[in-house]
Copies of this chain bind each other. A is one copy, B any other.
Amino acid sequence: MSKVVAFGEILMRLATERHLRFSQANFFDVTYGGGEFNVAVSLANYGVTSDFITCLPNNDIGQCAIEKIRQRNVGANHIVLDGKRIGIYFLETGAGTRGSKVIYDREDSAIANIKEGQINWDTALKDATHFHWSGVTPAISQNAAAECLRAVKTAHEKGIIISSDLNYRSKLWKYGKDPKDIMPELLKYSNIILGDIDTALFMLGKSKVTPNYEDLESLSKLYDIIVENCPNLDVMATTLRYSVSASHQKIGGILYDKSKILKAQTRDVTPVVDRVGSGDAFMGGLLYGLINPEFDLQKTLNFAVAACCLKHTISGDFNLTTKEEVLQMVDGNTSGKVSR
């Protein structure tokens, strides 16, 4: 049986009520989320055993985060309690032509100060079949990057499948290192990568490209460069997103497995209830499809795209859908009929 271990940061999310601007907020909805954890939640929802490893302050706020992890049926037994604060992000949800707005207040969070030895990766990865991390973690701090590398190496040694979401955030990477200083070493071990091709090449220190996702031939050459630098890579996928407005998105996807390039039908998503975490929903769907022996690659990609679409209709970071709900959409049922 599969068991996925995800490693990364979980943030407190302080969001204004839908569509209110920060300046109008008299209260914030408080939930918790973060790219890697969101993936773990997706997998738990689909029935896959999953575990989340992070570092949280040993106070009531840290406990709240742990309670939310457990509530989602994600293991929390290897979480390190140390550090001064939980990272925070403030969210204002847009509408129509007004985009959503995120303000980070995550510097100096518990995980940014993680120290070697606080996580025993040997124990933490026991029984794991998959390990998931994203490009956000090495972007936080030198310590977090180092911990990520320790995790990846241990996982690789144990023969665990490693999946990575590139997740480039230009507002992070402030500790004196660029992605190209850190990411190539980390991505070497990845078996599965989610991200834009241009982001991958940028992180690998290659020159800037503008991939044409309609031209499979040219894509193929770009994939070749990535494969050269990621010798363990088996599957790379990309979410194709066209943003009509904050309330209307078009979502498709593309998947490459070193032998072929597959595409999924693009779908309209409107209205958008909350698009934060929709990339993580794609990642969760992709990983689930790859884990599930009954799914071929096309079904896997379709599942990832459908999961991503459904996430846009759900408030909060998590894609709170079951496998059956995603499959209904894969099977073409998008009419939103009342289930009764």
A interface, CB within 8 angstroms of B: 14, 19-31, 59-61, 63-64, 67-68, 70-73, 84-85, 88, 90, 92, 94-105, 107-108, 169, 171, 243-247, 267, 269-273, 275-276, 309-310, 312-316, 320-321, 325, 329, 334-340
Contact = CB atoms under 8 A, between A and B. Distances in A.
Contact of A107 (B85, B312, B335): B85
A23 B67 contact: yes
B336 A22 contact: no
Q: Across the A-B interface, give the 3 residue pairs with the lowest CB-CB distance, nearest first.
A: A246-B336, A102-B340, A71-B71
A247 B336 contact: yes
A337 B108 CA distance: 27
Contact of A100 (B27, B244, B338): B338
Given A28-B28, A275-B338, A340-B171, A315 B100 contact: no
A335 B249 CA distance: 9
- Copies of this protein in the assembly total 6
Nearest to A96: B313
Nearest to A31: B26
Given A84-B107, A243-B336, A96 B312 contact: yes
A309 B108 CA distance: 39
A339 B19 contact: no
Contacts of A107: 84-85, 108
Contacts of A95: 271, 273, 313, 336
A90 B160 CA distance: 40
12 contacts: A22-B61, A23-B60, A94-B313, A95-B336, A96-B272, A97-B313, A98-B336, A99-B336, A101-B338, A107-B108, A247-B336, A271-B271
B27 A30 contact: yes
B22 A245 contact: no
Given A73-B70, A105-B85, A335-B99, A64 B23 contact: yes
Contacts of A70: 70-73
A269 B99 contact: no
A97 B338 contact: no
Contact of A267 (B29, B67, B71, B97): B97
Given A60-B103, A313-B19, A244 B340 contact: no
B334 A97 contact: yes
Given A85-B107, A247-B336, A329 B27 contact: no
Contacts of A71: 67-68, 70-71
Given A26-B29, A68-B71, A245 B97 contact: no
A10 to B, nearest CB: 15
Contacts of A329: 97
Contacts of A103: 59-61
Given A22-B61, A99-B336, A244-B336, 13 more contacts: A22-B60, A23-B60, A25-B30, A26-B26, A28-B28, A61-B103, A67-B72, A71-B71, A84-B105, A96-B312, A97-B267, A98-B310, A246-B337
Given A19-B313, A22-B61, A85-B107, A99 B30 contact: no
A244 B271 CA distance: 12
Contacts of A98: 310, 313-314, 321, 325, 336
